[in-house]
Structure 1
Amino acid sequence: MDGRLLASGYPDSYLKDLNKHVVFLGTRFDIDKQGNFYVSYEVDSLIYVYDYDYNPLATYGFQGNEMNLDYLSIYDYKTCRSNYRKERQTKGHYYWLEFVDETQTLFRSYRKTGENDGLQIFNEGKLIGDVEVPKNLRVMGYIDPYYYSYIVPKLDENDDSLIIYRFRL
């Protein structure tokens, strides 16, 4: 794969078994100050980098640790609807992407098996860390010298709390 998308708009990893990926059709992206796009698909381990005109610049990435990739084959709307929530809560997928211009660092959050999720940290396209983080953690930005992230815990539908973390690399 050279960074191009197939006519469907998804990378070829999706078309290998589309019935297993129907619940995970989300796309996450961020744009840097030069107008380059960093794109991640929910069940594709690669990150695609495109310029302002959507010409491919780079492709990099690694599968996250301890991801449950045993996706349920879903052939119809009814099966999809009844299994959607459980699949998204228990199966591995990449759910957040944030590029920090100041440090040329890209963060990608992913669903793991167990109590924690994973966070991949790339600097200039190289994986420099893959760490366990609390469920649903999303990096949101950088104010020197700290990176900031948050979690919306949603303990129940009336819970509107927000947990914010700050950290350094």
Structure 2
Amino acid sequence: WGHSGDNWVRPGIALYGISPFQDRCGSELGLRPAMEFETRLLDNKRVHAGSTVGYGGHWRAETDTCIGIIAAGYGDGYSRFLPSGTPVLVNGRRVPLAGTVSMDLAAVDLGPGATDRVGDPVLLWGAELPVEEVARHAGTIAYQLVTGVMHREEPAIGN
């Protein structure tokens, strides 16, 4: 190979607009993400203080609030290891996950005055919510999250 000096670059995940450094986001390095993970709000429901949400009831409402159900779960590549409090954007507004991510769904705390509607957009990560930030909540790296996203086909129902 001879002498390569400073002529070689291994860009890796930076090609996708994601920082190769765990403590920094791509936008801090002038990168723009090539991927967004977006879904939609499937339902919302008012719950009273003390109500529990998710597997094992590990999340408990501290006050009366509105819980939203989003169409993404670990079967889609949205990590089951994301804890309550991990941010998502609903209509551009930052709200926290509430409870354990299930196979097909996740719950978010929309807040007591929520006016969000079924079908509204939910950003799990992208330009406004860096995947690097989401990965830190899961205790992992962005590579693991972006390579885990799955496209699930609608089931074909036959006779």
**Structure 2-normalised TM-score?**
0.28
1 or 2 for the larger relative contact order (CA 8 Å, sep ≥6)? Answer: 2
Pick the structure with greater CA Rg. Answer: 2
**Greater strand share, structure number:** 1
Which protein is richer in helix relative to its size? Answer: 2
Structure 1 length as normaliser, TM-score? 0.27
